[in-house]
Every structure is written in C-alpha cells, then in structure tokens.
Amino acid sequence: MEYRNLGRTGVKVSQLCLGTMMFGRKTSAQESIRIMEHALDQGINFLDTADAYAAGETERIVGKALADNGRRARTILATKAFFPLELSDPNARGLSRRHLIRACEASLDRLGTDWIDLYQLHRAQADIPIDETLRALDDLIRAGKVRYVGTSMFPAWKIVESLWASKELGLNRFVCEQCAYHLLDRTAEREVLPAARSFGLAVIPWGPLSGGLLSGKYTRDDRSTEGRWQGGKDNFGRPVTPAAYDVMEALAAHAQDKGCTPSQLALAWNASQPGVTAPIIGPRTMEQLVDNLGAAAVAVDGEDRERIDAAAPPMSTTLRYYDAAMALDLNPNFGRW
C-alpha cells in the first residue's frame, strides 16, 4: 500500500480510503466490522464516514470497531456534517456555528473518540457566510476536537473564497476537497482539480466506481443485476446513457487485456490522476473490498491513459453525476435529505 501526504499537511494516508456509507444500511454491523478490520490489516489507514449515514448508526459502528481493535491512534478518521438528522428542527442542519459545533460533539460521542482527524463540510451552503463557518471550525481545532478540516462537493470558486477568508482572518484553512469523480463524469477536472492542485489541497474522490457502474456487473443487454443501477436507473432516477455503456464496455475490454477487473482499473486510474490523493472505496461486501484492494497493485501508464481518454475524454460527462450531487440551495430537496 502506498501512502501519500494529505494535501500540504504532514499526515500520510493510504492511496485508497475506506468509505463506510454502506455500514449499518445494506451491510450489517458484524460484517461492517469484519470489512474494516480486513482493510486495516491490508494497510488502509484512512476511513471516511458521515453523521448522516444511517442516521448516525454508521459512526457508532466505526467507533466500536476502532475501539475493539485498538487501532484508533493509527487511523486517520474522517467524518462529515451538513445534512439534518432531526427533520423537524430548522437549525439542525447546514453550516451555521450552532449546528457544526453541536454536530461535531455528537459525532465525537458516537465515534467514541476524543478527536476527529478530518472534519468535512458535506456540502456548501450559499446563505451562510463562509466566515461564520470557518470561525466555528477554527474553534473546534483550537479546542482539540478536530485536527484538520475539509470540504465536499464545493465548487472551485467556493474553495478559493474559503481559502481567501482563512488567510484574511487568520483561521485554519481547508486541507482537502471530496468531490464526485470517475470515468463517467470527469467534470471535476474542469475547475475543482486544478484549483486543488494550485492551492495544495488533497482530493479524495467519492463514487470512483459510479455506484458500481464501473465494476463490470452491469451490461447494456442485461439490466436485471441487483444494485444501485438495477433497471438502468439509480435511486435518483438518473439513467445510464448509451455513451456510458460505451465507456463501460471499453473499460471492461481494457481491464481484460491488463489481467485485472474493471473496478480495479477504474480505481487505479482514479488514484493515478494528477492531484488525486486517495479515491474512496465503498464496499458493501467483503468480496467487493478484496476486489477493490487489488487496485493498489494495478499500474497505470501513459498508454493506459491514452486508451482511457479515447473512451472517456478529459473533462467529459457521459453520465450526469457531479452536478446532480451538488445539493445547491436552488434544489427543492436542499436540506431535506
């Protein structure tokens, strides 16, 4: 397992990050802990979760696993806040000082830890001044409850605004961005990845397999396979486009030539992209974890990149994914997830 610096920090994180969104939802607590322990045994030291996953149950599972195996001190633990856990309370959501401090303390309790290595804003919010958010995060760092702070799905202009405000006000700056990024939607390459590279932010892409589409289990002729994209659409109603199937088929053929699985090639390509620190894998089963971990042994060279770019050109979108996950306040579902 390769280890890379988390942006400009001195923290070393594994080239793959274990995402836990399935824990406590489609994956039982017992199986979730087994998956975590195997990932840690194989060299992963970077875990990502969120308070919104399974209404807080995921954080409890992660905290219990780290406490039981005694590996908390060696693990870079990341969590996120933004989405509401209490739908009836208008203040139990978003990026206000009130909510973030309360959410952080609740996450610490569920995780059973005294500190969070990386505390991330799960989404941006236009109607909260960024200085209010940054001051709250800075206070959490100074209190020793948080080590570093980051963002998720922030547009490039918002990232730059945040860095400018941190410099002007003498506050701790964001060290990473967690964006949606994969072969079927390379939108992040247009502005977010260049901004992150310019300002020294780590990039930890989520959904590098597009919810399983790039795993090879879905085909153009058979859409009956169980999973997020069963029937040719995901749970948000996004359809798999003909162009997306073209990319998936090209990826499968390329992977066969390299002697690896499509998911391993997609992850290895993601991890090798300029500016990317650690793609987040989100296995539902032990089988999926073992397959994903195999990506660490897959080398991607210049010829591989040329072949992949021919199928999925840089900055292209063959499946609307990135912008559909922004959750901007123009969306009628904003704040209700």
Q: Where are the domains of the chain?
A: 3-325
Q: Model confidence at 222, in pLDDT bands (50, 70, 90)?
A: confident
pLDDT of residue 230: 82
pTM: predicted TM-score of the whole model, two decimal places: 0.94
- Choose among 171, 160, 179: nearest CA to 133: 171
pLDDT of residue 336: 33
pLDDT of residue 87: 86
Between 336 and 87, name the one with better pLDDT: 87
Residue holding tokens 């499968």?
252
- Choose among 209, 247, 241, 251: nearest CA to 320: 241
Residues 140-174 have pLDDT tens digits of 999 999 999 999 999 999 999 999 999 999 999 99
SS (H, E, C) the chain: CCEEECCCCCCEEECCEEECCCECCCECHHHHHHHHHHHHHCCCCEEECCCCHHHHHHHHHHHHHHHHHCCHHHCEEEEEECCCCCCCCCCCCCCCHHHHHHHHHHHHHHHCCCCEEEEEECCCCCCCCHHHHHHHHHHHHHCCCEEEEEEECCCHHHHHHHHHHHHHHCCCCEEEEECECECCECHHHCCHHHHHHHHCCEECCECCCHHHHHHCCCCCCCCCCCCCCHHHECCCCCECCHHHHHHHHHHHHHHHHHCCCHHHHHHHHHHHCCCCCCCEECCCCHHHHHHHHHHHHCCCCHHHHHHHHHHCCCCCECCCCCHHHCCCCCCCCCCCC
pLDDT of residue 63: 97
Lowest mean pLDDT of 61-65, 69-73, 100-104, name the range: 69-73
Told to judge if 218 belongs to the known catalytic residues of this protein, a careful annotator would answer: no
Q: Model confidence at 335, in pLDDT bands (50, 70, 90)?
A: very low
- Choose among 45, 42, 47: nearest CA to 4: 45
pLDDT of residue 84: 92
Residues 15-67 have pLDDT tens digits of 999 999 999 999 999 999 999 999 999 999 999 999 999 999 999 999 999 99
Edge-to-edge strands of the sheet including 17-19?
202-203, 174-178, 146-152, 116-121, 76-81, 46-48, 17-19, 280-281
Which one of 53, 119, 148, 181 is the catalytic residue? 53
Residues 191-217 have pLDDT tens digits of 999 999 999 999 999 999 999 999 999
Q: Which residues contact 32 (CB under 8 A, 6 or more apart)?
A: 20, 22, 23, 24, 61, 65
Is 191 in contact with 156 (CB distance < 8 Å)? yes
pLDDT of residue 156: 95
Q: How far apart are CA 252 and CA 240, in angstroms?
A: 16
Between 64 and 221, name the one with better pLDDT: 64
Residues 279-328 have pLDDT tens digits of 999 999 999 999 999 999 999 999 999 999 999 999 999 998 887 776 54
pLDDT of residue 328: 45
Q: How far apart are CA 201 and CA 276, in angstroms?
A: 9
Q: How far apart are CA 128 and CA 133, in angstroms?
A: 8
pLDDT of residue 81: 98
pLDDT of residue 223: 75
Residues 249-274 have pLDDT tens digits of 999 999 999 999 999 999 999 999 99
For 221, counting Cβ atoms within 10 Å of its Cβ (0-12 exposed, 13-18 middle, 19+ buried), the class is exposed
Residue range 3-325, CATH number: 3.20.20.100
